Amino acid sequence: MKFAEIAILLREIVDRCPTLDGSTITLIPQKAMYPLFLGYHINIKANFTKESMSGLRKIVEGHDLVMKIKTDSVVVYENRS
């Protein structure tokens, strides 16, 4: 994702997922994982509830993005198929 797209997505997450208040959000350069790609992945580290996960999933799917769920975090990124 480009930086401007991330700004829009994060604004929507903040507005629609108040239960994620206090979470840690970091941007990971895509080139760290895929050297030929530009842009960023979003890593959200939080104590997720069913409600917060559902809200986040709706936002991510609405932007045609993908979520990778880990034990203590979620990574949001563009699907490169």
Positive or negative, the CA dihedral 26, 33, 51, 14 is positive
Report the share of the chain in percent with pLDDT over 70: 90
This prediction has a pTM of 0.84
What is the per-residue pLDDT for 30? 79
- Domain positions in the chain are 3-77
CA torsion 20→43→26→37, rounded to 10°? Answer: -150
What strands lie across the sheet with 73-77, from one edge to the other? 24-29, 40-45, 73-77, 66-69
- Please report which confidence band the pLDDT of residue 45 belongs to, taking 50, 70 and 90 as the band edges: very high
Q: How far apart are CA 5 and CA 9, in angstroms?
A: 6
Note the pLDDT of residue 63: 93
Q: What's the pLDDT at 36?
A: 60
